[in-house]
């Protein structure tokens, strides 16, 4: 019996994930269109709302090609490794205080460990394709992931020092107790994790493994149809995973902003108001759609939002001590968690359409010569702050701020000394290579 609920959650997540990933792609295309002053997908469904379904059908019906000289078994299995590891990582994430598949005492390490296995899907897929573009993409991906995992891990260590536990639920509870989200206690750590997580998910400006202008599509070049879709699903699931880790560690997990300040309790009305607002917009736009079907679909989306708003309002309107009132933490927690994950992913998209791609040596230099030292200093800074607070009984705020200032000074020093190496003199390497007796 204790396994019924977790299995149910797992089924729901596995069933919904492809849909969610599809809609993240749609949102990404819409955000890109908005930033480039275009409309984006508009034809399939009202405002392109059915585009992900159409894309999915197209991908499933496409011809499935396996190159003749490919290592068939590895080629076949590699996308599965990527998808499986990404999905298993979701198991330990607390989506609100009640929605969690498994509460582990090594929760965060479990997520990191399992998602670090996902690289095998990329590397083996690139190797099995027996193509130069794929192999180069896979090599780049492996180098990039190993480099940036180091700094991401160190950034996480900083937040773990503050939380004092590895359990994902415990980390959020620690933030509830100290009444400070760890992004304010360790802003440098959050910055490092943000950069490293973009690099780990192979997204622009760090999308070297699949840079289309250089490598066609990187490790995915030889893949088509359903297997290609699996890689895409894995990539977007990984985005959700890193966004969830950042939310849990730095952004207060399922906590409402100012969760323990009682005179700000009116913030609880924000989620239903937001949903009602979206519903109102849908109803306002519905009559302006060009086709009758699209009008109906738009109205249906509006109705769905109304239902969601009602679900969010119910526990607040219900009498105290009733079952509905006690479910408030779960429902609103899930809302805030997903809201923060969405905001983090939006930042990903924003950065993608803002920055040009890095060169590979720039990428490596940023990773090893700036982020890794900075993340080590960050851990030491937080350690100094915590030692002052816990051993010498300083008040928490000045102790931690001292640590942050130390880290920032080190970061400024790294930036200042790093400038010198930014533009290596051309021809320096060749000079050394010249044989003496030439």
Q: Say if CB 56 and CB 229 are below 8 A apart.
A: yes
For other proteins, which stretch binds (CB under 8 A), given 102-110, 228-236, 250-258, 380-388? 102-110
Which residue in the set 35, 39, 58, 105 belongs to the binding site for other proteins (CB under 8 A)? 105
CB-nearer residue toward other proteins: 135 or 309? 135
Q: Is 243 exposed, middle or buried (0-12, 13-18, 19+ CB in 10 A)?
A: buried
Is residue 386 a contact residue for other proteins (CB under 8 A)? no
Which residue in the set 42, 44, 104, 316 belongs to the binding site for other proteins (CB under 8 A)? 104
Give one DSSP letter per residue of 27-51, joined into a string: HHHHHHHHHTT-----SSSGGGTTH
Is residue 432 a contact residue for other proteins (CB under 8 A)? yes
Residues 138-197 that bind other proteins (CB under 8 A): 138-139, 142-143, 145-146, 149, 166
Q: Where are the alpha helices (DSSP H) in 164-224?
A: 168-178, 182-185, 187-200, 212-215
Three-class secondary structure of residue 7 per DSSP: helix
Residue 101 DSSP class: S
Q: Is 3 exposed, middle or buried (0-12, 13-18, 19+ CB in 10 A)?
A: exposed
CB-nearer residue toward other proteins: 31 or 249? 249
Is residue 257 a contact residue for other proteins (CB under 8 A)? no
Please state, in angstroms and rounded to a whole number, the distance separating the CA atoms of residues 236 and 345.
10
Is residue 113 a contact residue for other proteins (CB under 8 A)? yes
Please state, in angstroms and rounded to a whole number, the distance separating the CA atoms of residues 372 and 424.
21
Q: How far is the CB of 110 from other proteins (least distance, A)?
A: 6
CB-nearer residue toward other proteins: 214 or 268? 214
CB-nearer residue toward other proteins: 135 or 286? 135
Residues 120-139 that bind other proteins (CB under 8 A): 120, 123-124, 127, 135, 138-139
CB-nearer residue toward other proteins: 134 or 378? 134
Which residue in the set 59, 114, 240, 279 belongs to the binding site for other proteins (CB under 8 A)? 114
40's torsion region: left (phi>0), alpha (psi -120 to 50) or beta? left
Would you tell me which residues interact with other proteins (CB under 8 A)?
Answer: 71, 74, 104-106, 109-110, 112-114, 116-117, 119-120, 123-124, 127, 135, 138-139, 142-143, 145-146, 149, 166, 432
């Amino acid at each position: 019996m204790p396994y019924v609920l977790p299995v149910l959650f797992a089924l729901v997540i596995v069933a919904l994930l492809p849909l969610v990933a599809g809609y993240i792609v749609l949102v990404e295309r819409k955000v890109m269109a908005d930033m480039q002053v275009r409309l984006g997908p508009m034809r399939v469904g009202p405002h392109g709302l059915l585009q992900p379904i159409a894309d999915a059908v197209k991908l499933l019906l496409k011809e499935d090609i396996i190159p003749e000289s490919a290592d068939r078994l590895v080629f076949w299995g590699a996308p599965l490794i990527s998808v499986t590891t990404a999905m298993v990582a979701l198991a330990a994430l607390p989506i609100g205080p009640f929605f969690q598949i498994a509460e582990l005492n090594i929760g965060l390490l479990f997520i990191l460990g399992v998602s670090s296995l996902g690289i095998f899907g990329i590397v083996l897929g690139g190797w099995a394709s027996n193509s130069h573009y794929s192999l180069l993409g896979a090599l780049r991906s492996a180098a990039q992931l190993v480099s940036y995992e180091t700094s991401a891990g160190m950034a996480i260590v900083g937040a773990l020092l503050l939380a004092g536990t590895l359990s994902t639920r415990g980390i959020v509870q620690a933030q509830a107790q100290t009444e400070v989200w760890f992004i304010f206690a360790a802003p440098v750590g959050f910055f490092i994790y943000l950069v490293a997580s973009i690099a780990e998910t192979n997204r622009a400006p760090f999308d070297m493994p699949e840079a289309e202008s250089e490598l066609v599509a990187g490790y995915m070049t030889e893949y088509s149809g359903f297997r290609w879709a699996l890689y895409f699903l894995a990539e977007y699931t990984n985005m959700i995973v890193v966004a969830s880790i950042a939310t849990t560690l730095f952004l207060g997990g399922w906590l409402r902003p100012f969760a323990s300040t009682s005179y700000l309790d009116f913030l609880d009305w924000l989620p239903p108001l937001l949903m009602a607002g979206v519903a109102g917009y849908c109803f306002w736009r519905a009559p302006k759609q060009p086709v009758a079907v699209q009008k109906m679909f738009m109205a249906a989306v509006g109705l769905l939002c109304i239902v969601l708003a009602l679900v969010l309002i119910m526990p607040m309107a219900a009498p105290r001590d009733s079952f509905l009132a006690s479910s408030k933490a779960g429902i609103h927690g899930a809302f805030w968690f997903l809201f923060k994950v969405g905001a983090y992913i939006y930042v990903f998209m924003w950065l993608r359409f803002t920055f040009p791609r890095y060169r590979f040596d720039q990428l490596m230099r940023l990773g090893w010569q700036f982020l890794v030292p900075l993340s080590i200093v960050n851990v030491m800074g937080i350690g100094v702050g915590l030692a002052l607070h816990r051993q010498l009984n300083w008040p928490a705020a000045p102790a931690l701020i001292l640590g942050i200032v130390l880290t920032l000074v080190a970061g400024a020093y790294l930036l200042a000394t790093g400038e010198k190496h930014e533009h290596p003199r051309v021809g320096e390497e060749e000079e050394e290579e010249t044989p003496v007796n030439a």
